Amino acid sequence: MKKNVSTVRLLALSLSFLLFTAAIRQNAGLEPTAENQRTKNDSTDAETGLALDKDLVLVKAHCTGCHSAKMITQIRLKRDEWQERIRWMQRNHKLWDLGESEKPVLAYLEKHYSPDKTAYSRREALRNIKWHRLENPAYGSFFRSFDGTKIYYEETGQGKPIVLLHGFVVNATMWKLSTRQQLAEAGYRVIVPDLRGNGYSDKPQNEKMYANDAEIKDVQALMRHLKIGQYDLMGYSRGAILAVRLTAIDPAVQKTILGGMGEGFTNKNWDKRRAMYEVFAGKANKYPQLKGTLAYAKSVNADTLAMQYLQKHQPSTPPTELTKLKKPVLVISGDTDFDNGSAEKLSAMIPKSRCVRVPGNHNSTVASAAFAREVIAFLNQ
Ligand code: HEC
């Protein structure tokens, strides 16, 4: 009987506690969400990610004041190593004497974060990794190009169309969403394809499919598919090489921006293109300075055969054709970017062109605010 009464009391007590916390939550305007509330079967504390345990309060009190609990959850140490770390923090980082708490804190750390505990231990290294892009492919669309190759593209904004062409061993994601957003806010419909051989687009394993300006024809096919008459064009790095070609042959192109590009490509036998081709054709040892590019391509799971064909059949536009261009062109590069020759020399070959340098190197410039500003100013002229 007595027992029952205390159970009832306990129940009433916990019920009032629940109501109390609910009231606080309501007052604070905090709805319980996935972030601020533990879900039923979770074995970790929602606030810190630390393992749930009777001594968690102690660990939270002593160990989360100075740094993120990730310092703890991302490391596996034996008991004496944990103790050694604690001493180290006490010597160097003003961690206080844990007193009576040290024993249970150490026991907690050993129980949950030692190398031989499987419950929370670090997972095994992944093998045969398949990389996925963070964006949802549903965000973009596919269409069949002139020769049946499936091409992926993304669109942001409404207004005057502008097509953005990415560089080598990258894809549409090279064009940062912030840059696209700024263009969209400036009144542009920003269209960004994954060029064939890259990203979500098909990667034909047949060399012929990359020859005869296939990538150029893809952009034209995309414009037909979207029923777009006139458009502006921006290419960065290798994308700029395609953009020049398209500007030279397609009357639909209005204004063109060539980013991260010098005059190198105007030579059909540009040594950099030839070297890049050979690197992807199995002769990487000849070019130690380009080994990094090959390693990068492999690390992002790029199709190395497609990369080889893309270099082999990369379009080139000779100076004699550039001098005939009648459209406004902005040549823009980072102030330390001479990777593909000189932007100034390229600009000097194009009659209605202007050359601008903004702070940055070949990789950083395209994502910079200064770059976006200059591009929008040129488009709005
Ligand atoms: C008074 C501040 C303070 C408190 C409290 C504190 N730490 Fe630290 N801890 C530090 C600092 C500072 C570093 C070094 C951070 C860095 O290197 O960026 C550190 C680093 C660490 C590291 C990383 C060590 C390594 O080898 O990389 C771990 C693990 C760690 N702390 C665990 C704990 C644990 C467990 C507790 C609770 C017993 C705790 N910390 C309490 C200040 C503190």
**Could you report the per-residue pLDDT of 147-159, keeping only the tens digit for each?**
999 999 999 999 9
Residue 298: phi and psi, rounded to 5, are -70, -40
Round the average pLDDT of the chain to a whole number and report it.
86
Q: 63 alpha carbon to ligand 1 midpoint, in Å?
A: 7
CB contact set of 130 (below 8 Å; sequence gap of 6+): 301
In this predicted structure, the answer to whether residue 9 has a pLDDT above a threshold of 80 is: no
Region of 62 on the Ramachandran plot (φ > 0 left; ψ -120 to 50 alpha; else beta) = alpha
In this predicted structure, the answer to whether residue 292 has a pLDDT above a threshold of 90 is: no
Domain membership of residue 175 (yes or no) is: yes
Domain membership of residue 10 (yes or no) is: no
Q: 68 alpha carbon to ligand 1 midpoint, in Å?
A: 9
Q: Could you tell me if 231 and 352 lie in one domain?
A: yes
Q: Could you tell me if 170 and 72 lie in one domain?
A: no
Q: Is 104 exposed, middle or buried (0-12, 13-18, 19+ CB in 10 A)?
A: middle
Domain membership of residue 30 (yes or no) is: no
What is the count of structural domains for the chain? Answer: 2
Write the residue with the smallest CA distance to atom 17 of ligand 1: 71
Q: Is 177 in the pocket of ligand 1 (CB under 6 A)?
A: no
Q: Could you tell me if 302 and 372 lie in one domain?
A: yes
pLDDT tens-place string over residues 89-138: 999 889 999 999 999 999 999 999 988 655 444 555 566 666 555 545 44
Q: Residue 72 belongs to what domain range?
A: 44-121
- CB distance 355 to 331 below 8 Å: yes
Final residue of a structural domain among 57, 91, 121: 121
Q: Is 174 in the pocket of ligand 1 (CB under 6 A)?
A: no
- Tokens 């074995």 -> residue: 43
Query: What tokens does 31 get?
Result: 């709805």
Q: Could you tell me if 262 and 344 lie in one domain?
A: yes
Domain membership of residue 20 (yes or no) is: no
184-197 b/e (C-beta count within 10 Å ≥ 16 → b): bebebbbbbbbbbb
Write the residue with the smallest CA distance to atom 22 of ligand 1: 71
